Amino acid sequence: MKLYNTMTRKKEEFIPIQEGKVGIYVCGPTVYDRIHMGNARPMIVFDTLRRYLTYQGYDVNYVSNFTDVDDKIIHRANEEGVESSVISERYIEEAKKDMAGLNVQEATVHPKATEEIPEMLAMIQTLMDKGYAYEVNGTVYFRTRKFKDYGKLSHKKLDELMSGSRSLKVSGEEEKEDSLDFVLWKPKKKGEPAWASPWGEGRPGWHLECSCMAKKYIGNVIDIHAGGEDLIFPHHENEIAQSEAANGTEFARYWMHNAFLRIDNEKMSKSLGNFFTVREIGERYPLQVIRFFMLSAHYRSPLNFSDELIEAAKNGLERILTGYEKAKAAAERAMQAELREEERENLQRLEALKNKFEEAMDDDLNTADAISVIFEIVRLSNTTVGEASSKAYCDEFLHCIGELCGILGLETEREQELLADEIEALIEERTQARKQKDFSRADAIRNLLLEKGIALEDTREGVKWKRI
């Protein structure tokens, strides 16, 4: 398998550090709100990478964090008059619901930044002992220029970089030895959560969090570090600097980054009114269609989201699912019999197509070409599986389509639709729950209906529903 390594800017043969095992670290969301469509792309892409590596026989340790202490979380907590942990825990649960809807598997470990503070304090102390970090009035900074390879991932030169990136700014900017130095530890401010440290009460810098969680749950050197391309600089660049300075070894062998998602050819932005959460899109389209759409383009290619393209993806997925169901119905009716010569020849064609699927996935996770192969398999199945087919022949197609869709995280078994009376009964239960201020139960019913393909709309005339 070859993967495009952002570090070297070329495809490289994937060779794991330890034979048969793969450690993957994927930067997860900052949990101050429901995840948006931009968050969904890396979740889907690297979940698919994990599934394919598992299919190839690797034991995959997949670590994806939740950033549960951050300025945005604190701001929202202060607005609502609650502890920041209330906000982060609420949106961790919401993220998990959306991830389940997108059929993203639970990570081997979902570490939370606030639970790994001791490891962060230890790394800061190591960096200070080695001369890579210094403290000024309770703020600890990393000496960027001391790390000679700084910029090797983003291919930026230190002297060309602008100081004061928004994500790095703190009070006391003038106290830095160098404008490019970044924060490892921030002193406590009023209304913020804080932890005790040798430099006073405070909280860790964002970049430090991922370095420590990757080290704890995978090791000093990880096989694959992944995330959206917006994280290349400064986040991943700073992770490399502090991790390699502290650990004295390479941080990650392969760096993978997915390209941006655009909405109707515009950058997704709240100011443009084209900012959508996964939950909002899930009210208009089944989330399996969204997953299929995301995988219909190569992960390193910019992806444009529009209703027309989603409708095309919906139709494409429907063709695959209909083909699977046709093969399943034929298998249920077919009789046990010896394979005919024609069937043997077609199964050889099927095996060649399966190899073609693997070749696409081995070529830097080319899911777009892999999906094209599934269409070819479905076409072969539709034209050759029928009343006269043997059960063994039908079963081969059924298994192959199901297996390859499973690698992409596409579910071929559709749930039975709810009857109208069942839907109305659940809506009535939700209405009563809301009257009793049991909003947790009301949300659970709404989510259940969404999972069953039913979208609700609260209107002045009452609750309306439609199948999606």
Phi then psi for residue 163, to 5 deg, are -80, 165
SS3 207: helix
CB atoms within 10 A of CB 457: 10
CB atoms within 10 A of CB 149: 11
pTM, two decimals, is 0.87
Helices (H), 102-226: 117-129, 206-217
Spatial distance between the Cα atoms of 358 and 367, rounded to a whole number of angstroms: 10
**pLDDT for the residue 106:** 97
Mean pLDDT of the chain: 93
pLDDT tier, 448 (very low <50, low <70, confident <90, very high otherwise): confident
Percentage of residues in the chain having pLDDT higher than 70? 96
Spatial distance between the Cα atoms of 168 and 180, rounded to a whole number of angstroms: 9
Return the CATH class of domain 307-407.
mainly alpha
Which tens digit of pLDDT belongs to each residue from 74-94? 999 999 999 999 999 999 999
Mean pLDDT value across residues 291-309? 96
Which tens digit of pLDDT belongs to each residue from 353-403? 999 999 999 999 999 999 999 999 999 999 999 989 999 999 999 999 999
- Domain regions of the chain by residue span: 2-258, 307-407, 420-467
pLDDT higher than threshold 70 for residue 144: yes
Which tens digit of pLDDT belongs to each residue from 224-252? 999 999 999 999 999 999 999 999 999 99
pLDDT higher than threshold 70 for residue 66: yes
Which tens digit of pLDDT belongs to each residue from 21-41? 999 999 999 999 999 999 999
Phi then psi for residue 263, to 5 deg, are -115, 115
In CATH terms, are 2-258 and 307-407 the same topology? Answer: no
pLDDT tier, 165 (very low <50, low <70, confident <90, very high otherwise): very low
pLDDT tier, 163 (very low <50, low <70, confident <90, very high otherwise): very low
Mean pLDDT value across residues 52-73? 97
**pLDDT for the residue 161:** 77
pLDDT tier, 274 (very low <50, low <70, confident <90, very high otherwise): confident
Spatial distance between the Cα atoms of 60 and 234, rounded to a whole number of angstroms: 27
**pLDDT for the residue 173:** 60
Classify residue 210 by its DSSP letter: H
The residues, any chain, with a CB within 8 Å of residue 283's CB and separated by 6 or more, are 450, 455, 456, 468
CB of 31 within 8 A of CB of 67? Answer: yes
**pLDDT for the residue 162:** 54
**CATH T-level assignment (fold) for domain 2-258:** Rossmann fold (3.40.50)
Name residue 62's beta-bridge partners.
24
CB of 263 within 8 A of CB of 305? Answer: yes
Mean pLDDT value across residues 252-258? 98
pLDDT higher than threshold 70 for residue 426: yes
